[in-house]
Amino acid sequence: MHTSYPFILASTSPRRCDLLKNIGLKFKVVPSEYEEDMTLPLSPAELTIHLSLEKARAVAQNNPNAVIIGADTIVFCNNQLLGKAHTPEEAKRMLHLLSGKTHQVITGMTIIIPSVKTPQSSASINEVTFKDLSDAQIDWYINSGEPLGKAGAYAIQGLGGMLVSSIKGSYSGIVGLPIEELYDIFTQHKLW
C-alpha cells in the first residue's frame, strides 16, 4: 500500500467485507445512512452507480480524510429490477422469475479518495444463467434462509451457487464488489 489514508467500506455486507479481507485490505466498516431509492428514472447500471456514490458520500461527510468504498448490487431480469428479498414470498417470486433464465447482476462501485476531486465510479455488468428450478428446489432454498436480504434472492457464493448453470463476467462483481475494478482504481491513484 502506498497511501496513508485509512480505508472505509460504506457497507455492512459480510460478502463485501470478505472480498476486501481476501485481498489483504485493512479497512473499517461504517454503514451508510443513505436511503436507497430504487424508483429513480435511471438505467440499471446508472442506478447502481448513483446508489454507490450516495452511500459513499454519506460516509465521506464524517470521514473526509479516508478512502471510502461504496457499492450497490441489483439483479435485472425481464426488464424488472430485483433488489433484496425481504420476505419468503418476495424470494419465491424472484426465484420463479430467474428460473431457467439469464439475468444481469450489476454492481455499482464508487471510491472517494481525499486527494482526488472526482469520485471514481464504475459498474460491473455480469450475466448469470439459472437452471430450471422446481417448486421443491425453490422451497428448499427459501427454507435455508439464505435468500433473505440478498439482491435477486440468492447468494452465488453460498447454497445459491447450486441454482446457477453459468456466469459471464466478474465473480466478485456478482458477489457484490468487483475486485478487478477496485484494484485498477487503487493502482491508478497509487493507493495500492
Q: For residue 136, what pLDDT is reported?
A: 98
pTM of the model: 0.92
Calculate mean pLDDT across residues 46-73.
Answer: 97
Is 135 a catalytic site residue?
Answer: no
Give the pLDDT confidence of 93-137 residue by residue, as tens digits: 999 999 999 999 999 999 999 999 999 999 999 999 999 999 999
Average pLDDT, the chain: 95
What is the Cα–Cα distance from 14 to 149, expressed in whole angstroms?
Answer: 11
Please check the confidence at residue 52 and state whether its pLDDT lies above 70: yes
Q: For residue 37, what pLDDT is reported?
A: 84
Domains of the chain with CATH codes: 7-188 (3.90.950.10)
Give the pLDDT confidence of 8-45 residue by residue, as tens digits: 999 999 999 999 999 999 999 999 999 888 888 999 99
Contact call for residues 129 and 166 (beta carbons, < 8 A): yes
Please check the confidence at residue 157 and state whether its pLDDT lies above 90: yes
Q: For residue 60, what pLDDT is reported?
A: 98
Give the pLDDT confidence of 141-150 residue by residue, as tens digits: 999 999 999 9
Q: Which of 37, 72, 139, 184 is catalytic?
A: 72
Q: For residue 4, name the pLDDT band (cuts at 50, 70, 90).
A: confident
Which of the two residues, 3 and 121, has the higher pLDDT score? 121
Q: For residue 3, what pLDDT is reported?
A: 65
Please check the confidence at residue 2 and state whether its pLDDT lies above 60: no
